[in-house]
Amino acid sequence: MDRFHTELGKSQHIVCLTGAGISAESGIPTFRGAGGFWGKYSATELATLEAFQGNPSLVWQFYAYRRETVLKAQPNPGHLALSGAERCLEKSGKKLTIVTQNIDGLHQRAGSQRVIEIHGSLFKTRCMVCEKVEQNMDVSICPALAGARPPDPDEENRIEIPEKDLPRCKHCSGLLRPHVVWFGENLDAAVLDDVYRELDACDLCLVIGTSSLVYPAAMFAPHVAARGTFVAEFNIELPVGFGNSDTRFSVQGPSGVSLPVALAPLLTETKEPDT
């Protein structure tokens, strides 16, 4: 940790790569495993363009349920440590940017300003007709989806919502879809350009709550490590191990516990003096 604090003190531009692990500590289910979001459905039934075109009612029930689940959650100490570090660094002309695979918006709710969402956001919609993207933080995105529950795979008990009652564009009345990257869709090229611009400029990279196995995100940390930049991993699982022993720092355990300790030199600076 002393070595990490030394690198932290020298850093001018930090990039943090975050994944589902940091949100799981706020009580947001992951997708797979017991209690996962997928439940009895497969990803292809709920998170592809073809699934949406074939059954928008089913897909919107799933995403409305996710929205309401996330809105009940709160940012945890890991989220708050990152936002506090960002504020501190900005005061001295330095930068901290978060590149997240999460679509839950918890970083922004914690106060982080510099957030790149590579997979989109649960709280943005995109019109299938005019393609306009807009933010929507309403608890119920439309009356028909109020109090959303996980969609029931049993066809006899499944609720079918008419398409006209699903979220509609207020500009052209077209059907809205969640503004997220579904399986089989490419990440936005402009977003990726922003990510690599940050990665190429950073002098310290934190990998938080992600196994870094899904492409293209799997290449982000190796891209940084390849030029000898210090990479620090904070993960509940065993570290993946980017870079060599001279440029690598790893902590196994909840990031909500480890990040406040790791970023303590910055967070201490943000505290108001006693009066």
29: annotated binding-site residue? yes
d(CA 202, CA 196): 10
Burial 165-180 (b: 16+ CB within 10 A, else e): ebbbbeeeebbbbbbb
Segments of the chain assigned E as strands: 13-18, 95-100, 115-117, 120-127, 133-135, 176-180, 204-208, 230-235, 248-252
pLDDT at 213: 63
Q: What is the pLDDT along the chain (275 residues), one digit of tens a residue?
A: 888 999 999 999 999 999 999 999 999 876 554 445 555 667 678 899 999 999 999 999 999 999 999 999 999 999 999 999 999 999 999 999 999 999 999 999 999 999 999 999 999 999 999 999 999 999 899 999 998 887 776 666 678 999 999 999 999 999 999 999 999 999 999 999 999 999 999 999 999 998 766 777 788 998 999 989 999 999 887 655 555 556 688 888 999 999 999 999 998 754 444 44
39 annotated ligand binder = no
262 annotated ligand binder: no
Q: Are 102 and 73 in contact (CB under 8 A)?
A: no
Any binding-site annotation on 168?
no
Decide if 119 is catalytic: yes
Residue 130 marked as a ligand binder: yes
**What structural domains and CATH numbers belong to the chain?**
1-28+75-119+187-275 (3.40.50.1220), 30-72+121-180 (3.30.1600.10)
Residue 196 annotated in ligand binding: no
Q: How far apart are CA 98 and CA 45, in angstroms?
A: 30
pLDDT in the model for residue 127: 98
Choosing from 79, 107, 119, 179, which is the catalytic residue?
119
Residue 237, phi-psi category: left (phi > 0), alpha (psi -120 to 50), beta (remainder):
beta
Specify the pLDDT at position 36.
Answer: 52
Q: What pLDDT sits at residue 159?
A: 85
120: helix, strand or coil:
strand
Q: For residues 23 and 98, is the Cβ–Cβ distance under 8 A?
A: no
